[in-house]
Amino acid sequence: MTEIVENRTAVPQQPLHGAEDVRLHTARVVQEMAVFDMHTHLFPPAFTELTRSGIDDLLTYHYLVAELMRAVEMRPEQFRRLTKPAQADLVWDALFVRNTPLSEATCGVVAVLSALGLDPSAPNLTEAREFFRDVTPSDHLARVFDRARVGGVVMTNDPFDTREVRVWDEGPELDDRFHTALRLDTLLNDWPEGRKRLIAAGYAAAAEPDAATVVQARRFIDAWIARMAPLYLAVSLPDDFAWPGDGPRGLLIRDVVLPACRDHGLPFAMMIGVRRAVNPELHDAGDGLGRADVTAVQRMCAEHPDNRFLVTMLSRENQHDLCVAARKFSNLMPFGCWWFLNNPSIVSEITRERLEMLGTSFIAQHSDARVLEQLLYKWPHARREISLALADQYVRVVENGRPVTVAEIERDVGRLLADNFLQWTPSRQSA
């Protein structure tokens, strides 16, 4: 992991005075820099049924399912009854043949197919299916990481997901490009279910979490930290997330999660603003968003100066507030342009706002990829906007009379795409 940071070629200090030079070098450095993708839903091949790759998985991505439902006369229920290949055929025909793939999610598939040398105007999926049938998974994985220039990814590891627990019980062969993050949504957002799972795993838990439950929940988390060695603990939170919070979530964050993070030297990642199941019929394509209250984050940061918080917010309207909060609290690291924000126009806007308010002290993007090949569009698209935003900012500096060097550009891009995150992870803290 640290190689990504340390093996960069040393570049001589060359002060750049002209806007054109600055733009060229910024574009090149952003293109070439290896990213550390700090939040994905990807898994290595050893995680068998959790891994997603290939044309059928690409086309049945929930972002596209939501778009399909606007393009065809069909109930989500009927769609789910189809086999995965039949679903993919339908998505292809509706969104790529009978419609122009203009949306970010469809345009992304076009980019992936082109990157793999496949015809994005094909009338059907025959060629793509043949291509994926013939690939060797390990070679293909290496090729995708290499082309996307992704040095490492962080998975989303859910100890409340029985499929995932099964994988860990079998002692999977770990892959050092895939890092772990301990995801705690069930524990923190659905206590009745979380409690059931704790009990099933042998940890006593009361209906109303009490002091004994806190001890048991902490034992559970410590055991999973020992087992997975996560880079952070994580949760997604609703737009009405409040702090201090009453109910099980508030208590468990305060008495279990934050102490565990402190004791293990791990950041706590909060992904705030999701309104789950706005349209339950759509299943995982049915979530929406709402504007959240950033003062909750501020209070957490103020009350827990010894904890580090990685925070991303789903509402566009929260982005400025989050930047202001980060200016006040150095234990708060804004990250990524999440989910509905991961569109070029919004990535551009948010990155510019963050550069203006925070310099390089934020994590520019995470891919949230669920399907391996999505790395081949999510990163090029993000790099493009980050590079343009950053170049404009350097040009301002140069025009104000202060040249920048290539080494500075490399250092800054490294921070935005990898180092700011890695510096908060245990391996870097102890290095």
Residue 318 binding result from Zn ion, ligand RAT, none, given CB thresholds of 5 to 8 Å by partner type: none
Q: Does 157 bind ligand RAT (CB under 6 A)?
A: no
Q: Alpha carbon 411 to chain centroid distance?
A: 22
Residue 131 binding result from ligand RAT, Zn ion, none, given CB thresholds of 5 to 8 Å by partner type: none
* C-beta nearest to Zn ion: residue: 368
Residues 321-360 as x/- pattern, contact with Zn ion by CB under 5 A? ----------------------------------------
Residue 41 Cβ vs Zn ion, minimum distance, rounded to whole Å: 6
Q: Does 374 bind ligand RAT (CB under 6 A)?
A: no
Alpha-carbon dihedral 168, 430, 41, 213, rounded to 10 degrees: 60
Alpha carbon distance 26, 20 (integer Å): 10
User: Of 288 and 403, which has the nearer Cβ to ligand RAT?
Assistant: 288
User: Of 151 and 286, which has the nearer Cβ to ligand RAT?
Assistant: 286
Q: Does 368 bind Zn ion (CB under 5 A)?
A: yes
Q: Does 236 bind ligand RAT (CB under 6 A)?
A: yes
Residue 234 Cβ vs ligand RAT, minimum distance, rounded to whole Å: 8
DSSP secondary structure, 89-158, as one string: HHHIIIIIISS---SHHHHHHHHHHHHTT--TT-SSSHHHHHHHHH--HHHHHHHHHHHHTEEEEE--B-
Residue 304 binding result from Zn ion, ligand RAT, none, given CB thresholds of 5 to 8 Å by partner type: none
What's the angle, vertex CA 383, arms to CA 381 and CA 384, rounded to 5?
Answer: 65
Taking CA atoms, 158 is separated from 225, 304, 368, in Å, by 12, 25, 15
User: Of 87 and 387, which has the nearer Cβ to ligand RAT?
Assistant: 87
**255-284: which residues touch ligand RAT (CB under 6 A)?**
271, 284
User: Of 33 and 322, which has the nearer Cβ to ligand RAT?
Assistant: 322
Question: Which three-class secondary structure state does DSSP give residue 309?
Answer: strand
Question: Which three-class secondary structure state does DSSP give residue 181?
Answer: coil
Stretch that binds Zn ion, among 8-16, 140-148, 178-186, 365-373 (CB under 5 A): 365-373
What's the angle, vertex CA 276, arms to CA 76 and CA 325, rounded to 5?
Answer: 145
Residue 238 Cβ vs ligand RAT, minimum distance, rounded to whole Å: 11
Cβ–Cβ under 8 Å, residues 282 and 238: no
**332-361: which residues touch ligand RAT (CB under 6 A)?**
339
Cβ–Cβ under 8 Å, residues 274 and 218: no
User: Of 273 and 414, which has the nearer Cβ to Zn ion?
Assistant: 273
Tokens representing 294?
Answer: 């950033």
Can you give the binding site for Zn ion, defined by CB under 5 A?
Answer: 368
Can you give the binding site for ligand RAT, defined by CB under 6 A?
Answer: 41, 156, 236, 271, 284, 339, 368, 370
